[in-house]
Amino acid sequence: MLPWSNYLRQSLYNRLLVILLMTIYHDLTGETGGVQAWTYNYSVNQNLDWDSARQWCRQHYTDMVAIQNQEEIVYLNTMLPRNSQYYWIGLRKVNEMWTWMGTNKTLTKEAENWAAGEPNNVGDGQDCVEIYIKRGKDEAKWNDERCTKKKGALCYTASCSEHCCSTHAECLENIGNYTCQCDPGFKGPRCQEAVACDTVSDPDQGSVNCDHPHGLFAFNSSCQFHCARGYQLLGASQLLCQATGFWDHPAAQCQVKQCPSLDSGPHRGTMNCSNPIALHSYNSTCEFSCDLGFDLIGPDRIQCDHTGQWTGNVSTCTVVRCGPLSPPAMGNMSCVDPLGASSFTSSCGFSCEEGYLLRGDINLTCLSTGQWTNHTPACEPLQCDVLTSPPHGSMNCSDLYGQFHYGSQCLFSCEEGFLLNGLADTECTSLGTWSRRAPLCLAQQCDVLTSPSHGSMNCSDLYGQFHYGSQCLFSCEEGFLLNGLADTECTSLGTWSRRAPLCLAQQCDVLTSPSHGSMNCSDLYGQFHYGSQCLFSCEEGFLLNGLADTECTSLGTWSRRAPLCLVRHCPLLVEPWRGWMNCTHPYSPFSYSSHCLLQCNEGFLLTGAPTMHCNALGVWSQDLPSCQVVQCENLLHRLPSPPPTPSSTPPPTLGPSMNCSHSLGEFSFSSLCLFTCSKGYYLNGTEELSCTSEGQWSDLVPSCQRNITSVQESSRMLVYAVVGAASAAGLLLLLGLGMLVAKKLSKKGDFNFENSLWEERENPAFEIS
Ligand SMILES: *[C@@H]1O[C@H](CO)[C@@H](O)[C@H](O)[C@H]1NC(C)=O
Ligand SMILES: *[C@@H]1O[C@H](CO)[C@@H](O)[C@H](O)[C@H]1NC(C)=O
Ligand SMILES: *[C@@H]1O[C@H](CO)[C@@H](O)[C@H](O)[C@H]1NC(C)=O
Ligand SMILES: *[C@@H]1O[C@H](CO)[C@@H](O)[C@H](O)[C@H]1NC(C)=O
Ligand SMILES: *[C@@H]1O[C@H](CO)[C@@H](O)[C@H](O)[C@H]1NC(C)=O
Ligand SMILES: *[C@@H]1O[C@H](CO)[C@@H](O)[C@H](O)[C@H]1NC(C)=O
Ligand SMILES: *[C@@H]1O[C@H](CO)[C@@H](O)[C@H](O)[C@H]1NC(C)=O
Ligand SMILES: *[C@@H]1O[C@H](CO)[C@@H](O)[C@H](O)[C@H]1NC(C)=O
Ligand SMILES: *[C@@H]1O[C@H](CO)[C@@H](O)[C@H](O)[C@H]1NC(C)=O
Ligand SMILES: *[C@@H]1O[C@H](CO)[C@@H](O)[C@H](O)[C@H]1NC(C)=O
Ligand SMILES: CC(=O)N[C@H]1CO[C@H](CO)[C@@H](O)[C@@H]1O
Ligand SMILES: CC(=O)N[C@H]1CO[C@H](CO)[C@@H](O)[C@@H]1O
């Protein structure tokens, strides 16, 4: 059996026999005494086509040469003899690939040893390769040639056997020997030992699971990494221990799954993320909210799931939209849309065609609630303001296009007592305004009235002060009287129904100065009017018969009667007893200027001056003088004082008993004294003495002389007789006197009975005792 075919079979059954070969290796090599070295042979003087050459090599040697390294090439170029046709080598194009026919391996780039410009494939079928041996140029280099060309056959004899190397090596023919060329990942003389890599341990948040076909963490060991939920491998998920003794990748790590980073929140909104592990990674949650006027489209919250995907997209904020607006009929609309048509903050302004009026808001704005601030306004035909009849007036309108619309004309009139304050008509113009203001009806105005002096005015107004309908009432202060009717009224013609009255001071009676006096008046409001005061005074000798002043009161009466000047009276004078007086009275009896002359009757004397004046003070110039009776000598002083008692003895001469009657006073004019003597005495002298008007006794005073005979009885009788006669005479006298009294009374108011009586010179005698 050929070594080559051994080799091939070994390759085929490589996987099955590897363990067996490993165990029998030593025995094989030891017993056979080594493999044969690789030796070259060639056909001498016989050139063959490629197929024939290969067949020859396989028949006599192992196979056609497969050039393997530079050393081998140099060796062949040295060893082989020159052949003008050069030698075929075991390289041929199979399926357009240059293939080592011995090993069925395609030519590697490194192993190429083409001559310059080759392979040039000149002509058809240059599918076989020759080696230039000893060519001088491009020595030992290859050239492609047609396989039918005849060249020397270059053969080799193999020295490898199936036991030369482990199953993890390729037995390479050397020049004269073989070497075990280890498969990658194996080392050792027979390539029986696998190359080891570093040990691999579980990553954080994960685990590793390894398969070790050639020993722990040795060549071809593979490790599979797994990560916890929400984590992902950073690096290759599988590590393979390479032939170099290094893992094909660095050990993987478990990295938290990262969701696509979210740069920012939604436009016009905000995003609020919480990241429990890492930014925008597994279990991160983000919440979305939108600015005012914007609605959230999408979830309000997303989460980074374990696959590294957000549960949703970043929500968007879309502007809140209000319903579309359309311009009103006969109008126009202009919108400003900062955030989109009919959207939040959009605002639309409205206008109307000429002649139309916008009713509603001139400008609408879209609110954050999705509502317009108001309804769309409407354009209504222009209208003038509604007019109403003015107060106290009436209005009469004619309309062309509707009440108070363009063309309407209105006429105004006023009630009686009111006047239009402007023109009577107005018209609704095309601008929707009245051609002029509607007039007002203003009450007729009367003149302004003022309160009368010393009075007041109280007006009641219907339509304004001193206007039509105003009524004014006048009143006067105390002491003043209206000089007319108290009220007046402003008529519809603007005139007062009557003149405003005045307040005139109350008038008192005219005063005149009293006779024998004067008057001095001061006036406040006119002579002898309210407030006037008059002072009265009298001439000398006259007295006011009341208070000196009076005043004109508010009632128009004097506070008191004007006083009179009365002449001053002196005390009434009476004629002195036994006298009389002759008075003159220029003003009044016994008053100022009265003058009296006083005189006394016969037998009487005036004590004092005979004249009396009543002066201005009402005082007589002196006290009233009196008429003193003329005095005679007191006879008692002449007589012996106590008459003798009857029992006593009497002397020869004795004072007479005197019995006097004193009609006017003791021992005065007209006193009559009778003398008598006691029994046994007689009278020496006159029995009777009388006092004359000159104050002399009519005779000498008698005396009594002793008489033996008593004549007491008879003298008493005589006295009785005298008295009886006197009584009879008195009775007669009384009768005449009565007649006289009656006569006197008719002549004089002032009658002194006593005086008159005594004027008659009758002096009745009477007894003192
Ligand atoms: C091969 O060639 C060598 C010399 O190079 C020779 O000794 C040997 O006999 C040859 N083998 C055969 C089988 O011809
Ligand atoms: C060489 O390989 C080709 C295809 O790769 C195959 O068809 C052929 O049979 C092989 N030859 C040998 C001797 O193994
Ligand atoms: C051939 O090679 C093998 C392995 O390299 C070696 O052990 C042996 O001694 C060699 N034989 C000769 C004759 O050189
Ligand atoms: C190493 O692993 C690769 C890929 O799985 C495989 O093709 C190869 O045969 C393995 N080698 C060995 C010696 O196990
Ligand atoms: C974000 O959310 C947290 C928790 O709900 C809250 O405490 C914080 O005030 C929020 N921040 C803002 C800016 O809204
Ligand atoms: C993620 O959130 C879930 C539920 O809120 C919780 O059970 C879990 O422990 C969290 N994971 C981490 C790593 O915080
Ligand atoms: C996120 O937005 C994208 C594109 O905008 C869309 O295709 C996808 O359906 C959205 N996801 C969700 C959960 O709405
Ligand atoms: C609206 O206004 C525009 C610009 O002012 C004007 O040109 C247009 O004629 C108006 N339309 C109406 C209906 O008034
Ligand atoms: C509406 O009114 C607002 C606030 O008064 C103002 O800012 C805006 O300019 C107006 N828009 C129009 C179209 O007149
Ligand atoms: C009184 O006096 C006047 C003149 O003085 C005299 O004329 C008059 O006669 C006298 N009257 C008497 C009664 O004496
Ligand atoms: C008679 C008598 O005596 N007569 C006398 C009266 O008185 C006078 C005088 O007083 C005498 O002279 C008388 O003689
Ligand atoms: C002198 C004198 O008169 N004598 C008288 C005395 O009295 C008698 C009688 O009474 C008288 O007669 C006397 O004459």
Q: Which domains does the chain have, with CATH numbers?
A: 4-158 (3.10.100.10), 195-256 (2.10.70.10), 269-319 (2.10.70.10), 331-380 (2.10.70.10), 393-443 (2.10.70.10), 455-505 (2.10.70.10), 517-567 (2.10.70.10), 579-629 (2.10.70.10), 650-706 (2.10.70.10), 712-766 (no CATH)
Model pLDDT for residues 521-572, shown as the tens digit of each residue: 999 999 999 999 999 999 999 989 889 999 999 999 999 999 999 999 999 9
Each as own residue / partner, the long-range contacts of residues 96-101 (CB below 8 Å, 24 or more positions apart, any chain) are 98/129, 100/66, 101/54, 101/63, 101/64, 101/66
Angle of helix 3-12 relative to helix 14-32, nearest 10 degrees, comes to 150
706 vs 732: which has the higher pLDDT: 706
Residue 767: pLDDT band by 50, 70, 90 thresholds?
A: very low
The confidence score (pLDDT) of residue 361 equals: 92
The values of phi and psi at residue 380, to 5°, are: -115, 150
For residue 277, how far is the Cα from the chain centroid?
A: 57
Q: Which-ligand-closest: CA of 364?
A: 9
Model pLDDT for residues 315-330, shown as the tens digit of each residue: 999 999 999 999 998 8
- With a 6 Å cutoff on the Cβ, whether 213 touches ligand 4 is yes
As a whole number of angstroms, the distance between CA 410 and CA 403 comes to 10
Closest atom of ligand 3 to CA, residue 178: 2
Pocket test for ligand 11, best of 684, 701, 703 (most atoms within 8 A of CB): 684
DSSP state of 635: G
Residue 45 identity (one-letter amino acid): N
Is the pLDDT at 451 greater than 50, yes or no? yes
Is the pLDDT at 290 greater than 90, yes or no? yes
Is the pLDDT at 731 greater than 90, yes or no? no
- Which residue, among 502, 539, 510, 537, has the nearest Cα to 526 in the 3D structure? 510
Is the pLDDT at 58 greater than 60, yes or no? yes
Nearest CA to ligand 7 atom 5: 313
Pocket test for ligand 8, best of 332, 350, 352, 358 (most atoms within 8 A of CB): 332
Residue 265: pLDDT band by 50, 70, 90 thresholds?
A: confident
Ligand 7 proximal residues by C-beta, below 6 Å: 312-313
The confidence score (pLDDT) of residue 754 equals: 36
Residue 725: pLDDT band by 50, 70, 90 thresholds?
A: very low
- With a 6 Å cutoff on the Cβ, whether 168 touches ligand 4 is yes
The confidence score (pLDDT) of residue 541 equals: 92
- Which residue, among 751, 394, 424, has the nearest Cα to 574 in the 3D structure? 751
Closest atom of ligand 4 to CA, residue 213: 14
How high is the mean pLDDT of the chain? Answer: 83
Is the pLDDT at 377 greater than 90, yes or no? yes
The confidence score (pLDDT) of residue 553 equals: 92
Helices and strands (DSSP H and E) totals, the chain: 6, 53
Residue 708: pLDDT band by 50, 70, 90 thresholds?
A: low
The confidence score (pLDDT) of residue 401 equals: 73
Model pLDDT for residues 277-287, shown as the tens digit of each residue: 999 999 999 99
Model pLDDT for residues 236-251, shown as the tens digit of each residue: 889 999 888 999 999 9
Measured between alpha carbons, how far is residue 737 from residues 410, 758, 764 in Å?
A: 122, 11, 13
For the residues 725-734, what does the mean pLDDT come to? 47
Lowest mean pLDDT, pick from 7-16, 173-182, 476-485, 663-672: 7-16
Lowest mean pLDDT, pick from 208-217, 345-354, 752-761: 752-761
Q: Find the 645 Cα to ligand 12 centroid distance in Å.
A: 22
Q: Which-ligand-closest: CA of 610?
A: 10
- With a 6 Å cutoff on the Cβ, whether 332 touches ligand 8 is yes
Pocket test for ligand 7, best of 313, 314, 316 (most atoms within 8 A of CB): 313
Lowest mean pLDDT, pick from 85-99, 512-526, 703-717, 734-748: 734-748
As a whole number of angstroms, the distance between CA 552 and CA 533 comes to 6
Q: Which-ligand-closest: CA of 289?
A: 5
For the residues 450-455, what does the mean pLDDT come to? 92
Residue 207: pLDDT band by 50, 70, 90 thresholds?
A: very high
Any idea which residue has 């080392």 for tokens? 187
Q: Which-ligand-closest: CA of 305?
A: 6
Cβ neighbours for 11, distance < 8 A, ≥ 6 positions apart: none
The confidence score (pLDDT) of residue 123 equals: 67
The confidence score (pLDDT) of residue 515 equals: 92
Query: Which ranges constitute the DSSP H helices of 379-459?
Result: none
Measured between alpha carbons, how far is residue 269 from residues 212, 292, 294 in Å?
A: 56, 9, 8
175 vs 63: which has the higher pLDDT: 63
For the residues 185-214, what does the mean pLDDT come to? 91
Model pLDDT for residues 601-651, shown as the tens digit of each residue: 999 999 999 999 999 999 999 998 989 999 999 988 877 657 555 544 587
As a whole number of angstroms, the distance between CA 258 and CA 284 comes to 9
Is the pLDDT at 487 greater than 70, yes or no? yes
As a whole number of angstroms, the distance between CA 594 and CA 466 comes to 73
The confidence score (pLDDT) of residue 517 equals: 94
Is the pLDDT at 230 greater than 80, yes or no? yes
Model pLDDT for residues 103-131, shown as the tens digit of each residue: 888 998 888 899 998 888 776 778 999 99
- Which residue, among 669, 694, 690, has the nearest Cα to 578 in the 3D structure? 669
Residue 730: pLDDT band by 50, 70, 90 thresholds?
A: very low
Closest atom of ligand 9 to CA, residue 365: 1
Ligand 9 proximal residues by C-beta, below 6 Å: 334, 336, 347-349, 363, 365
The confidence score (pLDDT) of residue 642 equals: 78
Q: Helix (H, G, I), strand (E, B), or coil: what is residue 216?
A: coil
As a whole number of angstroms, the distance between CA 377 and CA 76 comes to 110
Cβ neighbours for 385, distance < 8 A, ≥ 6 positions apart: 404, 433, 434
- With a 6 Å cutoff on the Cβ, whether 179 touches ligand 3 is yes
Q: Find the 702 Cα to ligand 10 centroid distance in Å.
A: 45
Q: Find the 193 Cα to ligand 4 centroid distance in Å.
A: 14
The sign one gets for the Cα dihedral 680, 683, 688, 691 is negative
- With a 6 Å cutoff on the Cβ, whether 78 touches ligand 11 is no
Is the pLDDT at 5 greater than 50, yes or no? no
Closest atom of ligand 4 to CA, residue 186: 13
Residue 99 identity (one-letter amino acid): T
Closest atom of ligand 6 to CA, residue 228: 13
The two tokens of residue 638 are 């002449």
As a whole number of angstroms, the distance between CA 172 and CA 35 comes to 12
The confidence score (pLDDT) of residue 6 equals: 40
Nearest CA to ligand 7 atom 6: 313
The two tokens of residue 340 are 């989109």
Is the pLDDT at 344 greater than 50, yes or no? yes
Q: Specify the DSSP element, H or E, that contains 262.
A: none
Residue 277 identity (one-letter amino acid): I
Is the pLDDT at 303 greater than 50, yes or no? yes
Q: Find the 104 Cα to ligand 2 centroid distance in Å.
A: 6
Closest atom of ligand 6 to CA, residue 306: 1
Closest atom of ligand 12 to CA, residue 705: 1
The confidence score (pLDDT) of residue 111 equals: 86
| Portion of the chain with pLDDT greater than 70, in percent | 86
Q: Find the 154 Cα to ligand 2 centroid distance in Å.
A: 21
As a whole number of angstroms, the distance between CA 715 and CA 656 comes to 13
The answer to whether the CB of 511 falls within 8 A of the CB of 528 is yes
